[in-house]
Structure 1
Amino acid sequence: MKKLISCEFNMDTGCVELKYANGSLLAIDCTAVENQITDNLYQRTELDYLIYNDPVGYADLILNGDPELYLKAVTEYTHYEN
């Protein structure tokens, strides 16, 4: 298992960047992820919150979790009609 040294969002590239002790770097393109797995603004907002406030959690979700299932569980989109 690689030891994670740092994980942060790079605003210049739009990527969450992970740096490991062995010198490897992994960059997650956040825009590409959002375009691929989100259906609405609420889901994009949830991912944006994770990117800025918990980039390690975001990276773990994308690399090891099921982001579509997570987004369905934490966001509820209700269309109100008058």
Structure 2
Amino acid sequence: MNKLLSCRYNMDANRVEARFKDGTTLAIDCIAVEDEYGNTPAQRAELDWLLYNKPLEYAQMVLGGEIEHYLSLSCDHGRLEEQ
């Protein structure tokens, strides 16, 4: 994947807009991500927190296929305690 330089959350469009080193841009539909991975209120809250506070990390996890694993670690505390 090309190097991700910057991201910003566009509240009006509910998208994370990413810019890559080669000049390409990409918009991530946050509603689609939330519908796919936000199965619990805690997961939806975590996705919202990421959007507002760490859009670059949000984009990296979505594009890298790591968002589901991240949410399982940060939002499913019962699952962590069982391990």
TM-score (norm 1): 0.81
Match of 1:54 in 2: 54
- Asked if structure 2 preserves the Cα contact closer than 8 Å seen for 1:15 and 1:27, the reply is yes
- The alignment status of 1:33 with 2:33, answered yes or no, reads yes
Match of 1:13 in 2: 13
Structure 1 CA distance, aligned partners of 2:74 and 2:55?
A: 17
Using the TM superposition, give the Cα deviation of residue 77 of structure 1 relative to its aligned residue in structure 2, in angstroms: 6.7
> Which amino acid letter does the alignment assign opposite residue 44 of structure 1?
R
CA RMSD of superposed structures (Å): 1.9
Match of 1:70 in 2: 70
> Which amino acid letter does the alignment assign opposite residue 34 of structure 2?
E
Q: Which has the higher helix share?
A: 2
Q: Which runs of 5+ in 2 are unaligned?
A: 79-83
**How many corresponding residue pairs?**
78
The percentage of aligned residue pairs carrying the same residue is 45
Q: Which runs of 5+ in 1 are unaligned?
A: none
Larger radius of gyration: 1
> Which amino acid letter does the alignment assign opposite residue 17 of structure 1?
E
| TM-superposition CA deviations, 1:40-82 (whole Å, max 9, x none) | 110000011111100010001101142222111111377xxxx
